[in-house]
Structure 1
């Protein structure tokens, strides 16, 4: 196994998790309390992000498979760094160009971020799996998840501390961390196993990109299991967009934090994140000991069980009668998502050929973006017309088709 590639991949995941934790632990305080975004606007922010991903994901995935995964990842780092700097400077940008509202500046930032994410999505995993080999990837994916949880733990403290000084500081710090990570990859990320496909005589770059895209499309269409997972990611994306964008609003506006405790909203979100990470670390340790990630059937069965638990946890959170109930449900959703992610990633890479890996992974991300783009505004509209609780319930209902598909595949295999 390529130990150097494994170390670079683990540090990459650690750095990304640290930066994201710094920014997104207290982003609700910045978006909701400082910028005053409504539930519908929060969903529209996500919609713009995912629509950008939907438009560019396929193109940038093909770029990674055609010209190199390393170049794609590093480019994505610097583009996203710029987007987060802009997002943290929204108030200043609004003062410089007052004809553009703060909400529009947020949308512009998210569009740039989405463009950058498409260069990273799929390319980092494709690079890593090719460098170390499919047979060694699963255990490293599980280890990487532990690294990201540790990084997120550090990020929470930094986020809460910066947020108490100024609500926008976490985004500025996150943008700086992305830039530093980009420089690190420039110096240390080596690409030794990537094989660029031969360009037909007389063909130009567009012909080459088209050939790579068609290879990825044939890879998916020739495997029913990949087609099935493509559909699964659509529903998963629709459900996650509603939940991810509104759970903080549900706590702030409908559940409310205990008034008898003199704790700020930023600190509450930090404490919730810490508890989620500590429980997730324990769950990941148990999963690493008990689950054989090289056995595809065990991985698939685990995903079925975790999906059922996720539905139950989201519904429990939506109908929580008090803060204590909501907290337990919220922690359950977080832990389930943490354990599910590396299992899905492992299973997916076991079913993709190397030559089109980044393209296929990008197509999967594209279907996720399609679900979020289509489902996000619908879930947000329900929140505006009825309540955030109704939006969360809708998010749980959108997960039911995934459970049905998993169950059907398991019955066939048995």
Structure 2
């Protein structure tokens, strides 16, 4: 498999993942709130269940990817995620035949999210580690940026499909999204190759010993690189912030603001319009940014992460306190632009700092840090949202991001 084919497999994988995610998550909050009847605290607890699963399995699956095969880890992930999402979409069917309180929609959703968490850990870090090994560290920054642009384009298509499916039945997007993950798994079985991965020598003699050895190498590598420790702390705080915002922004729009009366547009259509326009804006800005600045340069990456994270704090605060519908939506679009720029920058910088033999393990440790932040910050924010207001919870989530800004500032100075 040559260099271009490797890129194209990576692009295809993330286009399908983004398409499936947009189909499912454009209208998922309406499905959770209106069909399954979840309250703000339950919305957060669903996320907590996901993150606790990630915390438990992230390092283990990362070690599997470094010890045995990144390709196998990714393929396992796609099938597990497909099953989890189809299960989520099937909850109305299960609850219609099981009426006991213990087996409620919330309980089924918890199980599905735990299965999803296992799938996410098999994917986390393995895809980036596979790509970096196959094409080389110098090539990955531009590939990550281009991948993010393709993901956004796929999201545009997914948003339209999501609204159309949810207009028929709110659970349909999850059924279709899960099916796309299954098809992706089949595609990767056929076309994904792994030529440059080197298994741990001891694996064939003592698999457990090999996995423990790989994990120790990853931990030692992080401990001996202050910049990685800093990034680990940053990802804890960004995780704590993102969990509250990702789970509550739709509920904030539904409960705290009034949707404009334009024709007979339902909230499900409004969410589709909002995310479609926001994604389109992000694509345009991301293309301009990567043409304007050399995203391969470490200095550009560091400055981008600091300034955009600082801007994220300001915009999130405005989003939380704004009482004007259109002003709130503009803030939401601005946050989308910030995320589309910072995400590939962070991925590129992190992968450039890592060694091949422990890359997936260290990436999993970073993912674990994010999960810890979400697992600790999410329930706290959820309690505030339930006891007081969602607006207060969003303000609190914004405050949790401030330490990340300080840490990025320290790195930029040094």
TM-score (norm 1): 0.98
Shift of 1:98: 2.6
Shift of 1:200: 7.5
1:13 aligns with 2:28: no
1:379 aligns with 381
1:395 aligns with 2:369: no
1:291–1:299 contact (8 Å) kept in structure 2: no
1:78 aligns with 79
1:44 aligns with 45
1:90 aligns with 2:91: yes
1:30 aligns with 31
Whole-angstrom CA distance in 1 between matches of 2:304 and 2:136: 23
1:226 aligns with 228
2:206 aligns with 204
Whole-angstrom CA distance in 1 between matches of 2:29 and 2:230: 34
Whole-angstrom CA distance in 2 between matches of 1:372 and 1:114: 13
3-state SS in 2 of match to 1:294: coil
Task: Note the 1:13-412 alignment, pairs <5 A.
Answer: 13-99=14-100, 100-199=103-202, 203-412=205-414
Shift of 1:3: 1.0
3-state SS in 2 of match to 1:239: helix
Whole-angstrom CA distance in 2 between matches of 1:163 and 1:76: 26
Whole-angstrom CA distance in 2 between matches of 1:55 and 1:9: 27
2:232–2:366 contact (8 Å) kept in structure 1: yes
CA shift digits 1:314-372 (9 cap, x unpaired): 10110112101111111111111111100000110110011111000000000000000
RMSD: 1.1
Whole-angstrom CA distance in 2 between matches of 1:167 and 1:395: 28
Shift of 1:88: 0.2
Shift of 1:121: 0.6
Quick check: 17-26 or 320-329, which moved more?
Answer: 320-329
Shift of 1:261: 4.2
Whole-angstrom CA distance in 1 between matches of 2:203 and 2:23: 47
Quick check: 73-82 or 258-267, which moved more?
Answer: 258-267
1:241–1:375 contact (8 Å) kept in structure 2: yes
Whole-angstrom CA distance in 2 between matches of 1:104 and 1:276: 33
Shift of 1:95: 2.6
Shift of 1:288: 1.1
Whole-angstrom CA distance in 2 between matches of 1:254 and 1:356: 46
Q: Which runs of 5+ in 1 are unaligned?
A: none
Whole-angstrom CA distance in 2 between matches of 1:97 and 1:222: 53
Whole-angstrom CA distance in 1 between matches of 2:14 and 2:94: 31
Shift of 1:256: 2.5
3-state SS in 1 of match to 2:6: helix
Q: Which runs of 5+ in 2 are unaligned?
A: none
TM-score (norm 2): 0.98
Report how many residues are paired.
411
1:216–1:357 contact (8 Å) kept in structure 2: yes
Whole-angstrom CA distance in 2 between matches of 1:334 and 1:85: 27
Shift of 1:260: 4.8
3-state SS in 2 of match to 1:199: helix
Evaluate the alpha carbon distance shift between residue 345 and residue 49 of structure 1 in structure 2; reply closer, same or farther with a 3 A threshold: same
3-state SS in 2 of match to 1:175: helix
